[in-house]
Amino acid sequence: MTPLDIVVCVKNVPFTQDVDLVVDASGRDVRKDNLVYVVNEWDNYAVEEAVRLKEENGGTVTAVTVGGEDDEEVLRRCLAMGADEAVRIEPGNLRPDGFVTAALLAAAIAPLQHDLVLSGVQSDDLNQGVVGGLLAERLGLPHASVVDSLTVGDTGADLRIELEGGQEEVCRVPLPALLSIQTGINEPRYVSIMGIRKAAKKEIRVIEAGSLGLAPAELEPALIVEGLYLPPEAEGAAMLQGDPAALAEQIVRIMREKGVCNA
């Protein structure tokens, strides 16, 4: 069992599960002032996986994010989960999209010792899924996405990729490699408040985006948002009304009309 130096990329994203989103005045972004921020769900699984690998094999885990000072909370959470180091890339005036993020991450990670780089498949906000692949290309690492099972041996990583229709692709990747982690690969541990407070005392290394030596063209976003709009209301569904008993009555009737749930 050789120790692994693992780098995990994480993102602080708004929590929107049961929240009504409102488009802001510019029409190009969402109003975020009343949103709670949390770690991106996919990245959380990636951090848990990284920490487990470290616990099994020895080594270190470094968490990296691109974000402002408020986003340090996501790094503290990683530290509380068991990461050893945390790095924040301060974007300054940049508004990074997936491409710029990948460029910044690559520049920051390249000088670090890394046997394995993990990221989440995609982020809860923009749902793009490009950072992992772009980062792998820039770092010159083999890449696999949608990894839902991972074991690291001496010859490399044995993994399974989740395909459609319940199929999986079983494969092997030599290290160092970059893997994009799918939800459900593990059960992320609980991070206690005490743990986060203790982690607050650890130092977070901050790197200014401008100091990474990237060309201006690399810091331009690839996608330009022209407008956001809410999807059309549910014109399709006929809404049923009443208390649960009345609803049950109606549902059973509809089903029987369609030929199922027969008496």
Partner 1 sequence: MPIERIHFWGVGAVPLFYVLAALSIVAFAVGVYLRVSVWLSARGSHKLRIGPAGVAKLLADGLFGRRIFQGDFTAGVMHLLIMWGFAGLFVGTVLSTVDHWIVHYLTGQTYRVFSLCMEVFGLMLAAGLLLALVRRYVVRVRRLDNQPRDLWILVLLAAAVVTGFFVEATRLAVEVPRLAGEAPAWESSSFGGLGLSHLLSSAGEAEAIYPYLWWLHAVICLGLVGYFPFSKLFHAIAAPVNIVVAGPAARPAQAAGGLPESDETGTEEDEVAAAPRFAFADMLAFSACTRCGRCEQVCPSASAGEPFSPRDFIVQADSYVRAAGASRAYAGARAKLLRRGSAAADLALGAAPAAAPRPSPEQIWYCTTCRACLEVCPVYVGAYQPIGRVRVAEIEDGSRVAPLLVTALETLYRFGNPWEPSKRKRGEWPAGLDVPDLTAGAEAGLCYWVGCTTSFDTRAQKLARAFVRILQYAGVPFGTLGQKETCCGDIARRVGEFGLFEEGVEKTSGLLEKYGVTDLVTSSPHCFNLIKNEYPPANGPLASSALASGAPAQSGAPAQGGAPAAGDGDGESRSPLRVRHYTQVLEQLAAEGKLSATPDGRSMPQSSPRVVTFHDPCYLGRYNGIYEAPRAVIRSLEGARLVEMPRSRADSLCCGGGGGRLWQELEGEKKLGEVRVREAAATGADTVVTACPYCLIMLEDAVKTADLEGTLRVMDLNELVAESLGLVPEEE
Partner 2 sequence: MPEILVVAEHREGELREVTLQMLGKAAELCASHGLELCSVIIGDDVRKQAGELAAYCDRVIAYSDPRLAHFSAREHASILAGLLGERTPLLTLMGHSPWSLDLAPALAAKTGFPLATDCVDLLIEEGRPKAVRQIYSGKLFCRVAMKQAAGYLVTVRAGSFAAAVPSARQAEITWAPVPPAPALPLDREFVAYEDAGSGEVDICQADLLVSVGRGIGDEENIEPARQLAALMGGVLSCSRPVVDKKWLPKYHQVGTSGKTVRPRVYLALGISGAFQHVAGMSGSDTIIAVNRDKKAPIFRVADYGVVADALAVITALKARLSAERAS
Residues 14-43 that bind partner 2 (CB under 8 A): 14, 16, 18, 20-21, 23, 30
In the three-class reduction of DSSP (H, G, I as helix; E, B as strand; rest coil), residue 213 is classed as coil
- Determine if 67 is a binding residue for partner 1 (CB under 8 A): no
The CA radius of gyration of the chain, in Å to the nearest whole number, is: 22
- Determine if 33 is a binding residue for partner 1 (CB under 8 A): no
- Determine if 32 is a binding residue for partner 1 (CB under 8 A): no
Q: To which residue do tokens 């693992």 refer? A: 6
Which entry of partner 2, partner 1, none binds 38, CB below 5 to 8 A by partner kind? partner 1
CB under 8 A: which stretch of 139-147, 187-195, 218-226, 227-235 binds partner 1?
Answer: 187-195
Q: Residue 230: what residue type? A: L
**Distant-in-sequence, close-in-space partners of 111: CB < 8 Å, separation ≥ 6:** none
- What is the sign, positive or negative, of the torsion defined by CA atoms of 42, 47, 52, 56? positive
Cβ proximity to partner 1: between 34 and 262 the closer is 34
CA-based end-to-end distance of the chain: 61
Long-range contacts (CB closer than 8 Å, 24 or more residues apart) made by 22-29: 23/228, 23/229, 23/230, 27/227, 27/228, 28/225, 28/226, 28/227, 28/228, 29/225, 29/228
Distance CA 81, CA 19 (A): 27
Number of residues forming the site for partner 2 (CB under 8 A):
85
- Determine if 241 is a binding residue for partner 1 (CB under 8 A): no
Options 75, 130, 150, 191; binder of partner 2; rule CB under 8 A:
130
- Determine if 228 is a binding residue for partner 1 (CB under 8 A): no
- φ/ψ of 206, rounded to 5, equals -110, 130
CB under 8 A: which stretch of 48-56, 78-86, 134-142, 206-214 binds partner 2?
Answer: 134-142
- Determine if 216 is a binding residue for partner 2 (CB under 8 A): no
In the three-class reduction of DSSP (H, G, I as helix; E, B as strand; rest coil), residue 100 is classed as helix
Distance CA 54, CA 69 (A): 27
Provide the token pair at 1: 């069992």
- CB of 132 vs partner 2, minimal distance in Å: 7
Options 25, 170, 194, 237; binder of partner 1; rule CB under 8 A:
194
Residues 70-89 that bind partner 1 (CB under 8 A): 81
Q: To which residue do tokens 């990474």 refer? A: 212
Options 28, 32, 172, 197; binder of partner 1; rule CB under 8 A:
197
- Determine if 203 is a binding residue for partner 1 (CB under 8 A): no
Quick check: 118 and 46 in contact, CB under 8 A? yes
Residues 145-184 that bind partner 2 (CB under 8 A): 145-146, 160-174, 177, 180, 183-184
Q: Which residues bind partner 1 (CB under 8 A)?
A: 15, 17-19, 36, 38, 81, 187-198
